[in-house]
Structure 1
């Protein structure tokens, strides 16, 4: 599944050692790295937005506005991701990381390796998505 030897080593650990110190340190380091990357990219986006605002070329205004809209949408997504990363780091500190916020069951290493910010186990996430789909369908959004 993962080419990363460190991730392979974690996956090879017995289930009863779930969220041991080594696993928590691994995810803490991974989340900190991801946080730094997102913060650096958000700073780049902020600078690009500021540069676009100074651009006064009326000929390319539509293209500049479209680029700005895309940059702002990307910044919004990354801001939400940054919030999720910080919440995951807080869960590590509080000892809740790796366990489903809804059921209390382990989320599982494979899922956390793919999405280290996951708060729900796969079953709870599927139920949430079904509820959201049902709600949007009942509202006529589809």
Structure 2
């Protein structure tokens, strides 16, 4: 199923088996891409040979810290993808965890790991 086909389905089809399978495949694809990026970053970090030039050490350490922050952020996204896949297996995916209302297909296409509807997310942001 394509995104266009997904969006053309009637409202009554929201989170039926076909839609859940669409998002499961999307999440699995994103998960594989993310794991590949993480693996690549770790490989670059392992292969890096630091220079003995003291002026380069500061730059090298700054780059290493940046890579570690990036890996940490990607690991968090990987966890969110795994949580979304778990929600699909429990037939809870696509529903706002706060209100129980549909999150919406367009929002899920933009952010497949979303757990809140736009209204609930905006409310959380106002309260923060």
TM superposition score normalised by structure 1: 0.84
Q: Equivalent residue for 2:52?
A: 57
Uncovered stretches (5+) of structure 1, i.e. residues with no partner? 133-142
The whole-number CA distance in structure 2 between the counterparts of 1:43 and 1:129 is 34
1:108 partnered with 2:104: yes
The whole-number CA distance in structure 2 between the counterparts of 1:57 and 1:71 is 20
The whole-number CA distance in structure 2 between the counterparts of 1:9 and 1:126 is 29
Q: Equivalent residue for 1:135?
A: none
What stretches of structure 1 move > 2 A for 4+ residues in a row? 48-52, 56-59
Q: Equivalent residue for 1:10?
A: 6
C-alpha displacement of 1:56:
4.0
Match of 1:123 among 111, 116, 119: 119
1:23 partnered with 2:14: no
1:36 partnered with 2:51: no
1:77 partnered with 2:80: no
Any residues of structure 2 matched to 1:77-96 within 5 Å, and which?
77-96=73-92
TM superposition score normalised by structure 2: 0.93
Secondary structure of the residue that 1:60 maps to in structure 2? helix
Uncovered stretches (5+) of structure 2, i.e. residues with no partner? none
Q: How many corresponding residue pairs?
A: 127
The whole-number CA distance in structure 2 between the counterparts of 1:68 and 1:131 is 35
